[in-house]
Chains A and B, each alone.
Chain A
């Protein structure tokens, strides 16, 4: 029993260690990493190097895959830019496997002691040390866990039943391969499973061949776990997931037949190759893991074009992703602030252009051409990207004129965000009247509100995109204060007396939101006129 508890406790410490390392390094590197990612993804070599580094730091290619997916879908980086990083992150995960293969027991004990002293002196409360210390503690616990597993596993070999099982499974590579697949799908990391396997071979619980089968199985398990975790993704997000799956499949497709031929026929293969470098079994397994990752990465990089063409054909970008991609913002534009501001204004006008279509689902006379959800998410994404761009312009320029334009555009960004919220509320409110007949007078009133609102927003869309003075003036005429008019409509409908409480709520909310949307559109128009007038004065 004690043996099993040793192993169980060791596994527990190991998993806590893995979590602590990942969580703290992510905190430590989050903002820095995102900045680095935007810069590195401009070149394939830099992107690959960042992949190696991030894989080594997080010990999880899945984590890098998901960070890449979120950054690409947010429009912060291009798919082509992150592909080398996702591919080479797998090689980065080999670092801990290589370290775990070496006996560093004394170093770990020293590290744990130092970490404990640092915690005693409350260094973990200091912002500069907190996450670094957390990561070191995680590393120490991980290796302590491995030591406990080793300690518990040595006597395990002589336990009756276990010994029989080991003899029975020693020749079963398919069972070992399957164990590698399943354990990785549970642990979500092929490096984690390989480190445990390396520990087991160190104490003689696994044979060399079994361990290699587990390592190859772990690679397939990692690919399968990504496939399972990303089933709900579409478009670009799925493209990146498929790149990672391709890396895993390529590795298994090469290493598994080579390993089987070497074992069955005796042809020199992976085992022969790693023996050249070291005779230490655990190190040999770690080298197999490293070679598997490097081979998969190199082959996938070489096949990148056809692989990406296949992936793009089978998972084209979704409407939401296409709409979220900025048309006017690009990093180089930041070098010339006046033109960068113009580009932000054009991107904002593009986002404003999504607003009329948000109403299509609840209008009397509109075919739904685009999902309101996609327009909403994409609009918000563009607003966020404009915000980031404006912050960068403000950071780099201190001229007063420039800052007043930045402030104008920042205000417009806030208004845009409020408009998306108000339109979302409007659509949700109107959808309460469902599919009631147009014979209903109340329904006809709500439809009239919708058609009018759509016409005014459409007017705004054209005015902001064309920046035409007459159109802007017309828009301001159409967006004067409507509180008295809306109040009149409310009183008139209520005076009829046969309105239900549900319709009363819908009437109150739609007329109030109508007023608000017009007011926000007017504010946006006034700010546009303000900026065009200032430009005309300085021209």
Chain B
């Protein structure tokens, strides 16, 4: 990571079920919208997410699409929950996005 680069992290917590995604998605997409400087590194932190529904997966896919259209560097901090990681793995996201164990690791990785 270069000195000019700024790591901008969006942290998601708890159960990302249908109801919760409904509550947070507007705020989440607004935060995604603020990260637009090409020197920025976008991180979505899932470390404290305990459940991931289909809508939660779609949230990540849409964010990833936005970052890639803006040609930003983008990564995801993995969840501590094995079930969440299993859902992400099965969906295919883990093979398409860069995953890190922590923000520090992400900072070092870019």
Using CB atoms and an 8 Å cutoff, list the residues of chain A in contact with chain B.
356, 363-367, 444-445, 448-449, 451-452, 454-456, 458-459, 470-471, 474, 477-480, 482, 485, 489, 514
In the complex, which residue of chain B has the Cβ closest to the Cβ of A448? Answer: B87
Contacts of B53 on A, CB cut-off 8 Å? 363-365, 451
Q: In the assembly, what is the distance between CA of A345 and CA of B43, in Å?
A: 38
Measured between beta carbons, the chain A residues less than 8 angstroms from B71 are: none
Contacts of B95 in A (CB 8 A): 480
A–B pairs, 21, beta carbons within 8 Å: A363-B54, A365-B54, A444-B83, A444-B86, A451-B52, A451-B53, A451-B57, A455-B54, A455-B57, A455-B58, A455-B61, A455-B91, A458-B54, A459-B61, A474-B61, A478-B92, A478-B96, A480-B92, A480-B95, A482-B92, A489-B90
Say yes or no: A366-B65 contact (C-beta < 8 A), given A444-B83, A448-B83, A451-B87: no
Contact with A along B39-60 (1 / 0, CB 8 A): 0000000000001111101100
A240 to B86, CA, bound (A): 52
Identify the closest chain A residue to B52 (Cβ). Answer: A451
Known contacts A448-B83, A451-B54; A366/B91 CB under 8 A: no
Could you tell me if A452 and B90 are in contact, using CB atoms closer than 8 angstroms?
A: yes
Q: Does B17 contact A (CB under 8 A)?
A: yes
Other A-B pairs, 4, CB within 8 Å; known A448-B83, A455-B55, A470-B65 = A365-B51, A448-B86, A449-B90, A452-B90
Q: Does B6 contact A (CB under 8 A)?
A: no
Most chain A Cβ neighbours within 10 Å, of B55, B89, B92 = B92
Residues of A within 8 A of B2 (CB): none
Bound CA span A489–B86, Å:
10
Query: Which residues of chain B come closer than 8 Å to A454, judged between CB atoms?
Result: 54
Q: Which residue of A lies closest to B69 (CB)?
A: A470
In this complex, what residue of A is CB-closest to B83?
Answer: A444
7 A-B pairs with the lowest CB-CB distances in the bound complex, closest first: A454-B54, A452-B91, A455-B57, A448-B87, A452-B90, A365-B53, A455-B54
How distant is the Cα of A489 from the Cα of B90 in the complex, in angstroms? 9
Shortest A474–chain B CB gap in Å is 6
Within the complex, the shortest CB–CB distance from B23 to chain A, in Å, comes to 14
B positions within 8 Å CB-CB of A: 17-18, 51-55, 57-58, 61, 65, 69, 83, 86-87, 89-93, 95-96
Residues of A contacting B55 with CB < 8 Å?
455
For B91, list chain A residues within 8 Å (CB): 451-452, 455-456, 478
B90→A485 contact, CB < 8 A: yes
- Please give, as numbers and ranges, the residues of chain A lying within 8 Å of B96 by CB-CB distance: 477-478
User: Are the CB atoms of B57 and A452 closer together than 8 Å?
Assistant: yes
Q: How distant is the Cα of A539 from the Cα of B89 in the complex, in angstroms?
A: 40
Given that A451-B54, A451-B87 are contacting pairs, would A365 and B92 also be in contact in the complex, using a CB cutoff of 8 Å?
no
Q: Which residue from A452, A480, A485, A489 sits with its C-beta under 8 Å from B87?
A: A452
A459: B residues at CB distance < 8 A: 58, 61
Q: How far is the CA of A419 from the CA of B73 in the complex (A)?
A: 36
- A452 contacts B65, CB within 8 Å? no
Q: How far is the CA of A518 from the CA of B87 in the complex (A)?
A: 15
Residues of A near B18 (CB, < 8 A) are 365-367
| Shortest beta-carbon distance from B22 to chain A in Å | 12
In chain B, what residue has the closest Cβ to A457?
B54
Which of chain A's residues have a CB closer than 8 A to the CB of B87? 448, 451-452
Contact of B92 among A364, A458, A477 (CB under 8 A): A477
Task: Tell me how far the C-beta of B53 lies from the nearest C-beta in chain A, rounded to whole angstroms.
Answer: 4
Give the chain B neighbours of A455 by CB distance below 8 A: 54-55, 57-58, 61, 91
Q: Verify B65–A474 contact, CB threshold 8 A.
A: yes
- Distance between B68 CB and nearest chain A CB, rounded to angstroms: 8
A452 touches B54 (CB 8 A): yes
Closest to B59 in A: A455
Bound CA span A445–B69, Å: 33
Do residues A456 and B65 form an inter-chain contact, with CB atoms below 8 A?
A: no
Contacts of A356 in B (CB 8 A): 54
Cα distance, A474 to B65, chains bound together (Å): 8
- Cα–Cα distance between A477 and B92 once the two chains are bound (Å): 8
Please name the residue on chain A nearest to B84 by beta carbon. Answer: A448
Kindly state the separation between the CA atoms of A492 and B69 in the bound complex, as whole angstroms.
Answer: 37
Q: Which residues of B contact A365 (CB under 8 A)?
A: 17-18, 51, 53-54
CB-CB < 8 A to B61: which residues of A?
Answer: 455, 459, 474, 478
Distance in angstroms from A308 CB to nearest chain B CB is 40
Measured CA separation A74–B76 after assembly (Å):
48
B90's partner among A363, A364, A448 (CB-CB below 8 A) is A448
Give the complex CA separation of A43 and B38 in angstroms. Answer: 63
Interchain nearest-CB distance for A333 vs B (Å) = 33
Q: Which residue of A lies closest to B96 (CB)?
A: A477
A459 (CB) vs chain B CBs: closest residue:
B61
Return the chain A residue nearest B21 by Cβ: A365
Provide the residues of chain A in CB contact with B89, threshold 8 Å.
Answer: 485
Chain A hits for B93, CB < 8 A? 478
State A455–B54 Cα separation when bound (angstroms): 5
C-alpha gap A367/B51 in the complex (Å): 17
Residues of A within 8 A of B58 (CB): 455, 458-459
Q: How far is the CB of B64 from chain A (nearest CB, A)?
A: 8
What residues of B have a CB within 8 angstroms of the CB of A456 in the complex?
91-92
- Inter-chain CA distance A471–B65, complex, in Å, is 8
In whole angstroms, what is the CA distance A118 to B61 when docked?
73
Q: How far is the CA of A320 from the CA of B90 in the complex (A)?
A: 32
A485 to B87, CA, bound (A): 12
**Which residue of chain A has its CB nearest to the CB of B60?**
A455
Residue of B nearest to A518 (CB): B92
Q: Which residues of A contact B92 (CB under 8 A)?
A: 452, 456, 477-480, 482
CB distance from B15 to the nearest CB of A (A): 9
Chain B residue with Cβ nearest A471: B65
CA–CA, A364 and B83, complex, Å: 13
Cα(A448)–Cα(B95), bound, Å? 16
Closest Cβ neighbor of B16 among chain A residues: A365
